Amino acid sequence: MIVIEAFSAEHQQGVVDVILPIQQGEFDIPITLEAQPDLLNIAGFYQTGAGNFWVAIADGQVVGTLALLDIGNGQGALRKMFVKPEYRGREFGVATMLLDHLLTWSRNQGITAIYLGTTAKFLAAHRFYERSGFTEIEKAALPEAFPVMSVDTKFYSLTLG
């Protein structure tokens, strides 16, 4: 059984153990933990304002992550969506559970629009976001407060009703 929980300090190493191998090994992105200060201070970076950070837990282990960064004006940035390879797909539904949790949270917090950036390499992620109602947008259409990452080349938005 998989459960979604808000991040707490006990999840810190599990979050790193999910994200870094996917970034570095699977997608060959030359990024270190030190280059991601948000991962070293999840509570201070994401769990403020209307933002939050969630983990998917299976058998006591972190198997997925997802964050919402409050960027003001009722807008949020979806960040750090990663699922361990063995937990991907419809069989487990981890990505869908995480996203559903984020969307419910966002509506309850008064967030009216969510934006995200991703790399051209994350083809399965593109399909997932599009199936989930996100629309591809130009970089110029992003809110000024959106934190564009250097690896981001594709951008999406979702308006919440």
The pLDDT of residue 147 is 95
**In this structure, what CATH number is given to the domain that contains residue 120?**
3.40.630.30
The pLDDT of residue 12 is 98
Tell me the per-residue pLDDT of 121-142, one tens digit each, with 9 for 90 and over.
Answer: 888 899 999 999 999 999 999 9
Give the Cα separation of 41 and 144 in Å (integer): 23
Predicted TM-score (pTM) of the model is 0.95
Q: Which residues contact 157 (CB under 8 A, 6 or more apart)?
A: 113, 114, 115, 116, 134, 135, 137, 141, 142
User: pLDDT class for 65, splitting at 50, 70, 90?
Assistant: very high
Strand partners, 115: 77, 157
Read off the tokens for 130: 């599009």
For 137, the domain range is: 2-159
Give the Cα separation of 116 and 50 in Å (integer): 16
Burial of 48 (0-12, 13-18, 19+ CB in 10 A): exposed
Average of pLDDT values for 86-105? Answer: 96
Q: Which residues contact 151 (CB under 8 A, 6 or more apart)?
A: 29, 31, 119
For residue 6, is pLDDT > 80? yes
What one-character-per-residue DSSP string does 50-96 give? Answer: T-EEEEEEETTEEEEEEEEEEEETTEEEEEEEEE-GGG-STTT-HHH
What one-character-per-residue DSSP string does 106-152 give? Answer: HHHTT--EEEEEE-TT-HHHHHHHHHTT-EEE-GGGS-TT----TT-
Number of structural domains (the chain) is 1
Report yes or no: 16 and 33 within 8 Å, Cβ to Cβ: yes
Tell me the per-residue pLDDT of 19-59, one tens digit each, with 9 for 90 and over.
Answer: 999 999 998 888 899 999 999 999 999 999 999 999 999 99
Is 33 strand, coil or helix?
coil
